[in-house]
A and B are shown apart, each in its own frame.
Chain A
Amino acid sequence: MQASTKMQAAGEKPAAWKKPVGLVLKVLLLLYAVITLYPLYWLIISAFKTNQDFFNRPYAWPMQWQLDNVVRAWDLGNMGRAMLNSAIVTIVALVLTIVIGTLAAYALSRFKFKFSGVLKGMFLLGMLIPIHSTLVPLFIFMNKIGILDTYWALILPYTAFELPIAIFLGIAYLVSIPRDVEEAAMIDGNGWWGVFGRIIFPLCLPVISTVSILAFLRFWNDFSFALVFINTQALKTLPLSLSLFSDGFGTDYALTMGAMFIAVIPTIVIYLIFQEQIMKGMVAGSVKG
């Protein structure tokens, strides 16, 4: 800062060209942001157009804003049912991931025992597994035990693949919490379960919220597991139902746009509310992996 003011005072070159260059850079950055958001903007305006309007004036605002596509997608495309399925699968998997993951993180961060290193290594390895390589064996396995094409066929694999991130973020957070709190609680007559339920779990809420947001986005948006493990129409999740629009409804493009609009709204709302946490959480999750 000081150096630059000195330069300006001396009337050197930088001050003269810095301002216009800064402005040009800002305009370019703005342009980049607009290009990035354009497909989404286009999706939203197109969702409220008639097919004719969509073909004739693809860039323009709708001649008349109409809800017809969204309504038809909700009924015809079973988007309502799909949203319910997505919600059920996401919530159950989320609860499982958080409870099981936090418990494991607590055990691994506080107690040293023979296999703790091995277990950490195993979960770490899990983050490197390309999930698509598990599609075929999981399909065969879940078919054998009879849970293929049920909610559990999504809930259990989702939980399994989200656990490593939940555990490692949990451990990283718990290491920073001093043990005194727990020892005091132990003296007050709580067992380990009491300490976990009354002290640790509430203390972990910040990291739990990060894990929840990440897991929500992963579960809610998952396509490949749903594609392979779910076949029954009534059990299809949002992304899977949406994928049927890519060929199922032929040239009714406005209808597809309406369906996408329905699918996109929950994630956008969540993003707008939690964007700082989402950005930081996703980075923490991916770097740890």
Chain B
Amino acid sequence: MLSSLRTRSFVALALLPAVLIFLVFAIIPIIWSMYYGFFDWKGLGDPKFIGFKNYEMMLQDPIFWRALKNNLILVASAIIGQVPIALLLALLLLKNNFFNRIIRSAVFMPMVLSTVVVGLIWGYIYHPQIGLLNQLLESIGLESWTRAWLSDPKINIFAVSIPINWANIGPYLIIFIAALQNISSEVNDAAKIDGAVGSKKLFFVTLPMIWDMVVVTIVLCISGSLKAFDHVIIMTGGGPAQSTELLATYMYNNTFTVYRYGYGSAVSTMIILISALLIGLNYILTKRRS
């Protein structure tokens, strides 16, 4: 097909804009960020080469570990929360009738809202004085349960994780419904003949059939949770006293509030390494099981 010069020049010109924009605004920044990670640079003046110093500082900073721990809490809450709830809902909403379609659209709805709106609404729900949650607890006689949900460092990262889960169940629900509908009726009939019904069928027939999709959703949970940034910036800004800091907000705060560009670049690189590591790890673990 690539014989004539005209064809060749068409292919080159058709690809050029996409490759150019993608290289310049997505790939090269990553490479730059790895490079700047080896420098001490305040954004002004000449960057000073300091080798692995930024990484050493990062590994010695308790806030970095706190941020990493918070990120892992979000990953865990997504895997424990979003995947089973979505799977359960998918099993219940499998049939394509009117009622089920309405419920599905309702569950999916928060996904299309801006993260800023989600963060602000939940900020109000959690508000210590005017918040809906505390008022609800008071009205049903559970005053002792009321608290400053987003300021109490023991619980605030869990409070933050709920809106993130709330907003992200929709896509997993749709993924699972599609996967369940793909199971052929022959498989279901065979299961029935073999006497597999109820939970037996669920664990020995249905779940193994859609296991690939479960793996995909877990990978999506991991990459999605590492991307969490907007909700935290809006709800807590990473505070109070950096107790809800995530890797991305840690990077943001170090770069744009205290202007440590070199250090921020090193954290960026670390985020890429960690997400590659987690996705690889998950791939190996789930591969072995299936």
Question: Could you list which residues of chain A lie within 8 angstroms of chain B, going by C-beta atoms?
Answer: 3, 25-26, 29-30, 32-34, 36-37, 39-40, 42-43, 54-55, 58-59, 96, 100-101, 103-104, 106-108, 110-113, 119, 122-123, 125-126, 128-141, 156-157, 159-161, 163-164, 167, 191-193, 196, 217, 220-221, 223-224, 227-228, 238-240, 242-243, 245-246, 253, 256, 260, 263-264, 267-268, 270-271, 275, 278-280, 282-283, 286-287, 289
B283 located at the interface, meaning its Cβ lies under 8 Å from any Cβ of chain A in the complex: no
Classify chain B's interface size: 35 or more
- Determine if A160 and B14 form an interchain contact, defined as CB atoms under 8 angstroms apart: no
A191, closest chain B residue (CB)? B6
Contacts of B120 in A (CB 8 A): 242-243, 245-246, 256, 260
B107 located at the interface, meaning its Cβ lies under 8 Å from any Cβ of chain A in the complex: yes
- Determine if B117 and A264 form an interchain contact, defined as CB atoms under 8 angstroms apart: yes
12 of the cross-chain contacts (CB-CB < 8 Å) are A100-B21, A130-B271, A133-B269, A133-B271, A140-B32, A141-B32, A223-B234, A239-B115, A242-B120, A260-B117, A263-B117, A283-B175
- Determine if B116 and A111 form an interchain contact, defined as CB atoms under 8 angstroms apart: no
Contacts of A133 in B (CB 8 A): 30, 33, 251, 268-269, 271-272
Contacts of B132 in A (CB 8 A): 42, 58-59
Question: Could you list which residues of chain B lie within 8 angstroms of chain A, going by C-beta atoms?
Answer: 1-2, 6-7, 10-11, 14-15, 17-19, 21-22, 24-30, 32-33, 36, 43, 89, 92-93, 99, 102-117, 119-125, 130, 132, 135, 166, 170-171, 174-175, 178, 192, 216, 220, 223, 226-227, 229-230, 233-234, 248, 251-252, 255-256, 261, 264-265, 268-269, 271-272, 275-276, 279
- Determine if A283 and B14 form an interchain contact, defined as CB atoms under 8 angstroms apart: no
- Determine if A283 and B1 form an interchain contact, defined as CB atoms under 8 angstroms apart: no
- Determine if B106 and A33 form an interchain contact, defined as CB atoms under 8 angstroms apart: yes
Q: Is the interface of B mostly helix, strand, loop or mixed?
A: helix
- Determine if B25 and A253 form an interchain contact, defined as CB atoms under 8 angstroms apart: no
- A119 to B40, alpha carbons, bound, how many Å? 34
Nearest CB on A from B20, distance (A): 9
- Determine if A243 and B6 form an interchain contact, defined as CB atoms under 8 angstroms apart: no
B273, closest chain A residue (CB)? A133
- Determine if A192 and B7 form an interchain contact, defined as CB atoms under 8 angstroms apart: yes
- Determine if B265 and A128 form an interchain contact, defined as CB atoms under 8 angstroms apart: no
Known pairs A112-B1, A134-B29, A157-B25; A246 contacts B175 (CB<8 A): no
Known pairs A133-B33, A224-B229; A275 contacts B113 (CB<8 A): no
Contacts of A25 in B (CB 8 A): 92
Known pairs A130-B275, A136-B33, A263-B114; A279 contacts B104 (CB<8 A): yes
Q: Which of A113, A239, A246, A280 contacts B114 (CB 8 A)?
A: A239
Contacts of B226 in A (CB 8 A): 130
A30, closest chain B residue (CB)? B103
Q: How many A-B residue pairs have CB under 8 A?
A: 258
- A129 to B269, alpha carbons, bound, how many Å? 11
A130-B248, A224-B233 known, 5 other contacts, Cβ within 8 Å = A26-B99, A126-B26, A160-B25, A243-B120, A246-B234
Nearest CB on B from A69, distance (A): 14
- Determine if A132 and B220 form an interchain contact, defined as CB atoms under 8 angstroms apart: no
Nearest CB on B from A163, distance (A): 5
- Determine if A129 and B26 form an interchain contact, defined as CB atoms under 8 angstroms apart: yes
Known pairs A42-B132, A133-B30; A36 contacts B107 (CB<8 A): yes
A228, closest chain B residue (CB)? B256
- A150 to B110, alpha carbons, bound, how many Å? 30
- A161 to B7, alpha carbons, bound, how many Å? 28
Nearest CB on B from A62, distance (A): 16
Contacts of A192 in B (CB 8 A): 6-7, 10, 14
Nearest CB on A from B126, distance (A): 11
Contacts of A37 in B (CB 8 A): 106, 109
- A110 to B1, alpha carbons, bound, how many Å? 9
Nearest CB on B from A192, distance (A): 4
Q: Which of A58, A110, A132, A280 contacts B251 (CB 8 A)?
A: A132
- Determine if A156 and B178 form an interchain contact, defined as CB atoms under 8 angstroms apart: no
Known pairs A42-B132, A156-B21, A220-B114; A122 contacts B125 (CB<8 A): no
B247, closest chain A residue (CB)? A132
- A168 to B74, alpha carbons, bound, how many Å? 29
- A9 to B111, alpha carbons, bound, how many Å? 45
- A192 to B276, alpha carbons, bound, how many Å? 40
Contacts of A40 in B (CB 8 A): 109-110, 113, 121
Return the 4 tightest CB-CB contacts between A and B, nearest first: A160-B25, A104-B18, A137-B29, A33-B106
Nearest CB on A from B257, distance (A): 12
- A110 to B109, alpha carbons, bound, how many Å? 37
- Determine if A227 and B233 form an interchain contact, defined as CB atoms under 8 angstroms apart: yes
- Determine if B108 and A279 form an interchain contact, defined as CB atoms under 8 angstroms apart: yes
- A226 to B6, alpha carbons, bound, how many Å? 41
- Determine if A163 and B22 form an interchain contact, defined as CB atoms under 8 angstroms apart: yes
- Determine if A111 and B11 form an interchain contact, defined as CB atoms under 8 angstroms apart: yes
